[in-house]
Chain A
Amino acid sequence: MAKRVLMCIVAVVGIIALLVTGCTGGGGGGIPYKNPGVFVQETIGELDTLDPAWAYDTASGEQIYYMYEGLVGYDGNHTDQFVGLMATNWTIAANSSQITFQIRPDVRFSNGDYMTAEDVEYSFERAMVLDPDYGPVWMLYFPLLDTYGSRDGDGGFVVNATQIDNAVEVVNNGTCVQFNFVRPYPMQTFLQILCGSWGSIVNKAFCVAHGDWPGSWNNWTLYNNPDKEDLVLHDIACGTGPWALEAWNQPGEIKLVKNQYYWKGAETIPFDRVVTKFVDAWPSRKLSLLAGDADLVYCPRTNIHDLDGVADVQAITGLPELTIDSFYFNLNITPDSPYIGSGSLDGNGIPTDFFSDINVRKGLTYAFDWNTYIQQAMQGEAEQRGSPIIKGLPYYNEATPMYSHCLTLAKYYLENSAWGNLSAIGFKFTLIYNTGNLVRKTACEILANNLFAISSKMQVAVLAKSWSSTLATIRGRQWAMFQIGWLMDYADPDNFVFPYMHSQGLFAGPASYHNATVDALIEEGAICTNTTRRQEIYYTLQEAWYLDLPGIMLVQPLGRRFFTKYIHGFYFNPALCGAPGPLYYMSKSAT
Chain B
Amino acid sequence: MSEWKLTGRQLVRNPLSLVGLVIIALFIVIAIAAPFIAPPPEGHRDPYMIPRDGYWAEPQPPSKDHIFGTTQGQYDIFYGVIWGTRTAFRVALVVISVTLLIGIVLGSLAGYFGGVIDEVIMRITDIFLAFPSLILAMALVSVLGQSLRSVMIALIIVWWPSYARLIRGDILQVREEDYVEAARGLGASSFRVIIRHVLPNAIYPTLIMASLDIGAVVLTAAALSFLGLGAPEGYADWGQMTEFARNWIVGPIGEPLKYWYAVLIPGLFILFFVLGWNLLGDAFRDIFDPRLARR
Are A435 and B55 within 8 A (Cβ)?
no
The 10 lowest CB-CB distance pairs between A and B, nearest first, are: A302-B57, A376-B55, A283-B250, A464-B232, A282-B247, A442-B55, A283-B249, A377-B55, A376-B56, A310-B253
Are B233 and A438 within 8 A (Cβ)?
yes
Which chain B residue lies CB-closest to A301? B57
Are A469 and B145 within 8 A (Cβ)?
yes
Q: How far is the CA of A377 from the CA of B250 in the complex (A)?
A: 21
CB neighbors of B among A447-470 (8 A): 456, 459, 463-466, 469
A441 at the interface (CB under 8 A from B): yes
Bits for B231-254, please: 1 = Cβ < 8 Å to A, else 0. 011100000000000111111111
| Chain B interface extent, by class | 20 to 34
Q: How far is the CA of A199 from the CA of B10 in the complex (A)?
A: 78
- With A281-B246, A306-B252, A464-B146 given, is the CB distance from A435 to B57 under 8 Å? no
A287 at the interface (CB under 8 A from B): yes
Chain A residues near B (Cβ < 8 Å): 28, 281-283, 286-287, 290, 300-303, 305-308, 310, 372-373, 376-377, 379, 435-436, 438, 441-442, 445-446, 456, 459, 463-466, 469
Which chain B residue lies CB-closest to A438? B73
Are A463 and B232 within 8 A (Cβ)?
yes
B72 at the interface (CB under 8 A from A): yes
- Please indicate the chain A residues that have their CB under 8 angstroms from the CB of B234 in the complex: 441
Are B146 and A465 within 8 A (Cβ)?
yes
Q: How far is the CA of A306 from the CA of B45 in the complex (A)?
A: 33
Are B247 and A300 within 8 A (Cβ)?
yes
Are B57 and A379 within 8 A (Cβ)?
yes
- Please indicate the chain B residues that have their CB under 8 angstroms from the CB of A286 in the complex: 250
Q: How far is the CA of A241 from the CA of B73 in the complex (A)?
A: 43
- With A281-B246, A283-B247, A466-B146 given, is the CB distance from A376 to B253 under 8 Å? no
Chain B interface mostly: loop
B54 at the interface (CB under 8 A from A): yes
- Please indicate the chain A residues that have their CB under 8 angstroms from the CB of B58 in the complex: 302, 305
Q: How far is the CA of A300 from the CA of B142 in the complex (A)?
A: 25
- With A283-B247, A302-B72 given, is the CB distance from A465 to B145 under 8 Å? yes
- Please indicate the chain A residues that have their CB under 8 angstroms from the CB of B146 in the complex: 435, 464-466
- Please indicate the chain A residues that have their CB under 8 angstroms from the CB of B233 in the complex: 435-436, 438, 441, 464
Are A466 and B55 within 8 A (Cβ)?
no
Q: How far is the CA of A305 from the CA of B145 in the complex (A)?
A: 34
B228 at the interface (CB under 8 A from A): yes
- A310 to chain B minimum Cβ distance, whole angstroms, is 5
Q: List 30 A-B contacts (CB under 8 A).
A: A28-B253, A28-B254, A283-B247, A286-B250, A290-B253, A302-B58, A303-B247, A303-B248, A305-B58, A310-B252, A310-B253, A373-B55, A376-B54, A377-B57, A379-B57, A435-B228, A435-B233, A436-B228, A436-B233, A438-B73, A438-B233, A441-B234, A442-B55, A442-B73, A459-B45, A463-B232, A464-B146, A464-B232, A466-B142, A466-B145
- Please indicate the chain A residues that have their CB under 8 angstroms from the CB of B250 in the complex: 283, 286-287
